[in-house]
């Protein structure tokens, strides 16, 4: 995790009681995952998002951060501007 992303995470997590963690959605966000994340005050997507709609759905629940995933998935390349904060 980059220093900038670590700083963003620390700032965003201040006062947060429940953090949701998800990764490797590869463009598919199952309803069970959404149900598990409900109530989160901050969501971290650890990478391999797949498509922007995944982040849009997660934003409906809470602000969040995303990582690059393994090997810089080409499909995630267009998500990098939103990588640090998905609020």
Higher pLDDT, 55 or 15: 55
Listed by start position, the domains of the chain span 3-82
If you compute the radius of gyration of the chain from its CA atoms, what whole number of angstroms results?
A: 12
Q: Which residues in 39-60 are b (16+ Cβ under 10 Å) and which e?
A: ebbbbbbbbbbbbeebbeebee
In this prediction the pTM is 0.70
Per-residue pLDDT band for 15 (boundaries 50, 70, 90) equals confident
For residues 27 and 22, give the distance between their C-alpha atoms in angstroms, rounded to a whole number.
Answer: 12
Q: What is the enclosing helix (H) or strand (E) of 66?
A: strand 63-66
- The predicted-structure confidence for 22-31, as pLDDT tens digits, reads as follows 999 999 999 9
Cβ–Cβ contacts within 10 Å for residue 7, how many?
A: 11
């Amino acid at each position: 995790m980059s220093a900038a992303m670590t700083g963003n995470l620390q700032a965003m997590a201040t006062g947060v009681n429940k953090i949701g963690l998800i990764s490797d959605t590869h463009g598919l966000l199952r309803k069970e995952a959404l149900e598990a994340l409900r109530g989160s005050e901050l969501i971290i997507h650890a990478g391999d998002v797949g498509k922007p709609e995944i982040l849009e759905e997660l934003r409906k629940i809470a602000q969040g951060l995303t990582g690059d995933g393994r090997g810089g998935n080409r499909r995630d390349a267009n998500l990098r501007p939103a990588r640090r904060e998905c609020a």
